[in-house]
Amino acid sequence: MSTSVQAPDVTHIAPREKAEILSQALPYIQRFHGKTIVIKYGGNAMTDPSLQQDFAEDVVLLKLVGLNPVVVHGGGPQIENALNKLGKKGTFIQGMRVTDEETMGIVEWVLAGEVQQEIVGLINQAGGKAVGLTGKDGAMIRAKKLKLVDQKDPTVEHDVGQVGDIESIDPSVVKALQDDAFIPVISPLGFGKHNESYNINADVVAGKLAEVLNAEKLVMLTNTPGVLDKAGQLLTDLSARQIDEMFADGTLSGGMLPKIASALDAARAGVRAVHIIDGRVPHALLLEVLSDQAYGTMIRSK
């Protein structure tokens, strides 16, 4: 018995307006046809049922019109819930989750099991062909223990446990799936030289994967309108120099640090457009990629 997704209600839109919307998408479809788009999936878009369905439909539509979406997901709230149920409290240093051996086992179970399979199921239900991967599949993400240097005192190094720093990414398994019309859904888990597991920040994995896949775009879904200045105003366009200044004066901090750093690294490495967008906006991904509407911040290397 086949399952179909309920189509969005567009009866209130006049036929002429519908045609206008579709015609506006055409040049973007033509420009990005055959191109890879890496999507970091997180925030409310991962936990709100309506936004989950919007996201799945967006990913399937992008694939159907000829783009190659690759999804990298987080799972912070889900990991936190699992830890709480076991009486463990998560701790963070400079936006990185401290991951001891017991926590690592929970992280693997949540990310590669519960979270990944839910995303795969949503995309398949929406008519796509999603396949779940971790960094261990196809020897994709080789990692080593992260050395986290203190932001204020570079002589201090924090031990964050089994948190990984990417050594290399072999994208061949992702490319093979793309060539066969599948949509890869990747959990941010890597492996070391002794087959030990590492928890890697999903923003970092998305950024590095975008680099090695020579992606046209890296799109990061967040729970904010984008990057905000100290007054809380949205900054729609940021250069590397402006970002360095915002790091220096403390405008950027906490969980936004790895996100911005990964976006900037990807832009400097040749990813043509990096966007940090508001995942709370219905169909934000589709609007960002296939229209001239801006729902966040674009990061430029210069």
- Could you tell me the CATH number of the domain that includes residue 74? 3.40.1160.10
17 inside domain: no
199 is in an annotated binding site: yes
Determine the pLDDT at residue 14: 67
Rounded mean pLDDT, 64-91: 91
> What is the percent of the chain where pLDDT is above 70?
92
Residue of 239, 219, 199 whose CA lies nearest to 281: 219
75 annotated to a ligand binding site: yes
| 12 belongs to a structural domain | no
Count of domains for the chain:
1
Q: Is the pLDDT of residue 251 over 80?
A: no
| Cβ neighbour number for residue 75 with a 10 Å cutoff | 24
Task: Quote the pLDDT of residue 133.
Answer: 97
State the pLDDT at residue 273: 86
Let me know the angle formed at the C-alpha of 165 by 159 and 168, rounded to the nearest 5 degrees: 160
Q: Is residue 216 in a domain?
A: yes
CA 172 to chain centre: 19
Q: What is the extent of the structural domain holding 155?
A: 33-299
The pLDDT value recorded for residue 8 is 45
Q: Is residue 10 part of a domain?
A: no
Share above pLDDT 90 across residues of the chain, in percent, rounded to a whole number:
49
3 has pLDDT over 50: no
Annotated binding residue at 135?
no
Q: What is the mean pLDDT of the chain?
A: 87
pLDDT value at position 10? 46
Residue 13 — very low, low, confident or very high, per pLDDT cuts 50/70/90? low
- The pTM for the full model equals 0.88
Over residues 102-130, the mean pLDDT reads: 95
Q: Is residue 28 part of a domain?
A: no
Q: Is 280 annotated as a binding residue?
A: no
Task: Tell me if 22 is assigned to some domain.
Answer: no
pLDDT at 17: 65
For 165-168, which contacts have Cβ atoms below 8 Å and span 24 or more sequence positions? 165/200, 166/141, 166/142, 166/190, 166/200, 166/204, 166/205, 166/208, 167/142, 167/143, 168/141, 168/142
**Could you tell me if residue 124 is inside a domain?**
yes
pLDDT for 12 equals 52
The type of residue at 282 is: P
Residue 1 belongs to a domain: no
pLDDT score, position 69: 97
